[in-house]
Structure formats: structure tokens, C-alpha cells
Amino acid sequence: MRLRPATGLAFACTLAVVVASGALGASAARAAAGPVTFGPDLSTLAVNNTNDCTVDPLILWPGNPNTGAPSCTWSSSNPTNPNGGQIPPTGDGTISQVMVKVGAVTGPMQVVVMQAEFQQVDLPYIHYNISCCTDVGESAPFTPVANAITTEPVSLPVQVGNSDGSPGEYEADLLGLSVLEDGVPVPAADETTVSPENDQPGLDLEEPALQQNGQTQLADDGLGYLVAMDAVWQPAATSGSNPSPNPLPILTPSATPLFRFPTTGTLARVTGNHALIQAACGAGGAACDGKVSLQSARTASRSAHIAREAKAKVVTYATGSFALSAGKQQAVKAKLSGAGRTLASKHKSMKVWINVTLTGGSSPTVMSKQVTLRF
């Protein structure tokens, strides 16, 4: 772990293995005239990483891996498949959609375009030094569906292979996935046991999430984790171009509930003996049926540190249920418990957790969000 500016030297160790395997050369060779899907094969990828942003799994020397970062950005490369990481094809284009696969726990995320600078060197096994990364573009925040592959439309310009005119130097935009809330595992496959080690994915990790603020931040790079995100790259408009087949299929989610917490307005308020909690069910998915609770803590357990928190007693202030049609948003009525009525009588406001359990899928899905409840 080291503190460095967003444009400082990093990612060299991460991508050096890939470069030594010829991935950058392969990236240049896969300049395409038509849409290209790049990233790992999400249909077979096991999303088994359990680390959230508060833990840095790449710290290999003695130290505390618990960083306490509230958010983070991960981006990966694949030495065994140049098209299997978050490096777009060579050329000017636009990312038109991303596909993110998550497990049972989900939360707010964001796609980031990360600009890196490559400088050719002549060292054994390492052919480029890489300075990474500067945030040059971001999507709107979104929450992927748990236990599913979520397709999110975006519009993010990217450039790969644009030289500034200096011999042996060029810039490349990479894609990163930011997790914006602690307790939410980063969607990734843990491949730290892959042998030989040089076949393990490379990873750049930024803590907190990469932002367009120019501030210094914690950063790390290493091996062993493959981010579970694909993207569709559309080439810049050229005359006479013919679409070429995608190297991977464009994956779309099945008819699963697309529950979301609304991003505007008051999420929860108390009126009389009930709390009114805003809930939304996204269009294009199944109906959202489930239960909602206002509680003193997040539903356990999302990660190791949340599991420790869960040992404390969780107080329930209100409970309710809902059945929302796809594309609908409404206020869900939750009846206050005795603890909730006491809370309302003694405080003007209090931070609480909205814990939602969706019951309509093959297995329960839990989503949580902390809000300030005003009485």
C-alpha cells in the first residue's frame, strides 16, 4: 500500500505480467470496425470475492489490510485472454453498456474511465512502465441486481493507443468498477490460487473510489482478482465500416426483480404510528415482492467487519411488506414497533438502516441503505 497522486506511478506490476504475455500487442491487433464486447465470460465466472472496500486483499507484507475506505475502484487485466479484462479495443470509441455480475449482496456502484500512460522500457519480462490512473469519465450510480447479471446502459468515450507524439509512449483508457458503500463485496472472482502465478489476473485497486478531484489517495496493485464486469465498445463513426462479430455474447439479465432505492427525495419518514419508506421496482424485470425493516444496523452479514458488528443486538423500529409491479415506485407503509415509538418520542432525527429482503427470486436477496429518519 502506498499514498500517491492519481497520476502517480502504479499498475506497473499489475499490467507488466500482461504486457510480457503480449496482451498490449494483442490489444492493438483487435482494433475493430464494429461493436466489441470485452471482459470475462460472466456466464461461467464464479463471483466469490468476499472483500468489501474496507479490506485491501493485495497487502502481502506485514500490515493491516483493513483500510476503512468507504469506497473503492477495481480494474483488472487477464494475461491468458487479452479480451478478458477491462481494457477496451484499440481506437476511439464509446462504451455503450456494461454488464455486472454480483452475488447475494449488492449495493450502489459506478463505472469509471481510468486513463493510464504507457512508456516503453527494455527490462527483462517488463516492456512498459504504466502510470495509472486519472479519472476522465464516470457513469451515473446504479445498483446491480443480486444473484444476477445486470445490464446498465452508459455513454462513456474511451481512447486506446493515442500517442502524445513521444516515441514509445501512448495513453489508454481502462474501465474500472467503483463500489460506493462499505459492506458491499466488490464483484470479482478470487483467482489467487491459480498456478502459475503469472496466469493470475492483474488488479489495480484505488481507495477511496477514483474521482475527478485530483486528490492523493491510497492505491495498490497486484495479482489474483478478476472483476466481474463486461462492456460493449462501439467504434467512433467511420464511413464504410462493417460490424464484426463480438468475441463474447452480449449478456442480458433474466427476468429478475430490479429493486432500487430512489436516488431523489426523502427515503423514509414517520407519520403517526407508521414509517413511509420509498421503494422502486425497475422496468424490464420481474415484480418486486418483499419485506422491509427499519433497524439499528445493516442486515448481517455482508463482510467480516459487518459480521463482527452483527454480534451487537439489532433493534427493529418498523416492519412492513410490499408488492411492486415492474416500473413502479411507491411509499411502503411499515408499522412502528414499541422501540420505534420510543425512538420517535425522544429524538428529532436518528440514523437508521432500511433493510429490504426480496422474496420473489430463487433465493432471498438483501439490500440495505442507511438514512436519517426524521420524526
Mean pLDDT calculated for residue range 231-249? 56
187's grid cell: 464483484
> pLDDT: is 342 or 202 the higher one?
342
Provide the pLDDT for residue 200: 83
Provide the pLDDT for residue 203: 85
118's grid cell: 504507457
Provide the pLDDT for residue 70: 85
Condensed to tens digits (0 to 9), the pLDDT of residues 218-238 reads 666 778 899 999 999 998 865
Residues forming CATH 2.60.40 domain(s) in the chain: 259-374
Lowest mean pLDDT among 78-92, 93-107, 154-168: 154-168
Condensed to tens digits (0 to 9), the pLDDT of residues 348-370 reads 889 998 988 888 655 567 777 88
Condensed to tens digits (0 to 9), the pLDDT of residues 261-320 reads 776 778 899 999 999 999 888 765 678 888 999 999 877 544 444 444 445 588 999 999
Condensed to tens digits (0 to 9), the pLDDT of residues 53-67 reads 988 887 654 455 777
Mean pLDDT calculated for residue range 82-108? 90
Q: Are 169 and 43 in contact (CB under 8 A)?
A: no
* 77 exposure class (CB count in 10 Å sphere: 0-12, 13-18, 19+): buried
For residues 39 and 24, what is the distance between their CA atoms, to the nearest angstrom? Answer: 15
Task: Reply yes or no on domain 259-374 having CATH 2.60.40.
Answer: yes
pTM exceeding the 0.85 threshold for the entire prediction: no
Provide the pLDDT for residue 240: 36
Q: Are 95 and 37 in contact (CB under 8 A)?
A: no
pLDDT range class, residue 121, cuts 50, 70, 90 = low
- Half-sphere exposure in the Cβ direction for 287 (13 Å, CA): 7
With cell 512498459, the residue in question is 128
Provide the pLDDT for residue 2: 30
pLDDT range class, residue 134, cuts 50, 70, 90 = confident
Provide the pLDDT for residue 108: 92
pLDDT range class, residue 326, cuts 50, 70, 90 = confident
Provide the pLDDT for residue 213: 58
